[in-house]
Structure 1
Amino acid sequence: MKKFFLSLFFLFSLVPAHAADAGMSPDALVRGVSDDVLSIVRHDKAIQAGDTRRVVDLVEEKVLPHFNFRRMTMLAVGKDWRQASPEQQNKLVDAFRTLLVRTYSNALTQYRDQTIGYKPLKVGEADTSVRVQTEVRQAGAQPINIDYSLEKTSEGWKVFDVVVAGVSLVTNYRGTFAQEIRVGGVDGLIRSLEQKNRNLAATPAHS
């Protein structure tokens, strides 16, 4: 599971905001901008030293506009999403978004010399949902498959799930969320997520 979390930093490193061209294919989007962002990670001394705040800023600036956090949250919550009020749904989205950013920003500081391979993708004009398949290669270890599920929207392609070594991000959370809701209802899940975020925020960043 640790490998799952550490590998997910690529979900934040491949899609900077300025490349959100509605006419760009999803694989071209991922492939075309990865070198730029990974170059920042390689050469930014603060990030290499483990400065989580610097990484959070990078994620906020270059990644978040390309993720559909509402759909991600809805998929992670599953059937219980329908019982949540609009206000509760908004709180769930905000809390889950914050949790993902704070959790995986730490993983981005673990980047060293990994490289990325891309598998061919055919996208038809009528396709509105695709999976971009990539492979993270690192010396002395087996490659890690990371697939990005994207949907086509009026604002361009948006990521709504990431599958690392066969494990779906949203599915990985679904069981935990369902248990939290069984115990404390939707408000209980919101409180749990907010508490986790407070704990992560209280953890000092490395400098």
Structure 2
Amino acid sequence: MNMTVVSATPTVTSATLARRQWLAGAALAALALPLWPLAARAQQTLEAPDALIQRVASEVFDIVKRDPALRSGDLGRIMELVDTKLMPHVNFERMTASAVGRYWRQATPEQRQRLQAEFKTLLVRTYSGALTQIRDQTLVIRPLRAAPGATEVVVRSEIRGKGDPIQLDYRLEQTPTGWKVYDLNVLGVWLVETYRTQFAQEISAKGIDGLIAALAERNRANAQSG
């Protein structure tokens, strides 16, 4: 089985796709947080979503710039950074459910767990290489436009460095443990929408187990290719 999980837009060039993957990796990396004491975590839940992303972006970009292993492409180090410090700040169940779409309701609890595991591995391996490219870039948050008391917001930002600034948008929801990201926009394309079309085609042809098998095969191919 050979499923290439890339942008569903037929006119996307390989250069544009590579650039989109780099930016998505930088956007995801900007959300990673160090492990804070419980008291600090409690205080974080009071932060506005734009303030949270701004603070976290500065911290993570600094970590990458100081870590030779990350900059040299040490996959184990990259996977550890993304997996342990990013995922706690993402509602990954919602992200996966949105990507699977209406078929999520048909999935068993075991299938849902396997979908989340394979989708997470796919995203980490696809985008984590962007960490190695961080040099002098910074993430600048644009003014937040949200109604008072809103529990879901879009935080708009730009990656600035050499060349023109690049727009990145985050969709976040407020949860009992703080704001969590469930989708992001890279170069005008929302990540969830990019995968939803491909996932629907795979499920329509081969069922939910077929999608799980296709994701697993793609992850194995990525692991073998390094």
Fold agreement, TM-score > 0.5:
yes
Paired residue secondary structure (2:133): coil
Distance in 2 between the 1:132 and 1:89 partners? 28
Contact 2:199 2:211 in 1 (8 A): yes
What aligned pairs does 1:34-73 form with structure 2 within 5 A after superposition? 34-73=57-96
1:125 offset after TM fit, Å? Answer: 4.7
1:11 matches 2:33: no
1:86 matches 2:102: no
Give the RMSD, CA atoms, in angstroms.
1.6
1:122 offset after TM fit, Å? Answer: 4.3
Tell me which residue corresponds to 2:18: 2
1:26 matches 2:49: yes
4+ long deviations beyond 3 Å: 17-20, 122-125
Moved more, 43-52 or 148-157: 43-52
Distance in 1 between the 2:89 and 2:148 partners? 20
Residues 4-57 of structure 1, C-alpha deviation per residue, up to 9 Å, x if partnerless?
111012233222153752211111111112222111111211111121211111
State the TM-score, normalized to the length of structure 2.
0.84
Residues 140-195 of structure 1, C-alpha deviation per residue, up to 9 Å, x if partnerless?
x3221100100000111110000012100000011111111122111000001111
Residues 39-90 of structure 1, C-alpha deviation per residue, up to 9 Å, x if partnerless?
1111211111121211111112211100011100111111121222222112
1:192 matches 2:208: no
Paired residue secondary structure (1:142): coil
5+ unaligned residues in a row in structure 1: which ranges?
none
5+ unaligned residues in a row in structure 2: which ranges?
1-16
Identical pairs, percent: 45
Distance in 1 between the 2:99 and 2:184 partners? 12
Tell me which residue corresponds to 1:180: 202
Paired residue secondary structure (1:131): strand
Equivalent pairs counted in the alignment come to 203
Contact 1:52 1:109 in 2 (8 A): no
- The one-letter amino acid paired with 1:160 is Y
Distance in 1 between the 2:153 and 2:21 partners? 23
- The one-letter amino acid paired with 2:175 is T
Tell me which residue corresponds to 1:166: 188
1:155 matches 2:177: yes
Residues 84-138 of structure 1, C-alpha deviation per residue, up to 9 Å, x if partnerless?
2222112111111111112111121122222222101145552110011000123
Distance in 2 between the 1:33 and 1:185 partners? 39
Contact 2:99 2:193 in 1 (8 A): yes
- The one-letter amino acid paired with 1:154 is P
- The one-letter amino acid paired with 2:24 is L
Distance in 2 between the 1:185 and 1:152 partners? 33
Aligned with residue 105 of structure 1, among 116, 123, 128:
128
Paired residue secondary structure (1:113): coil
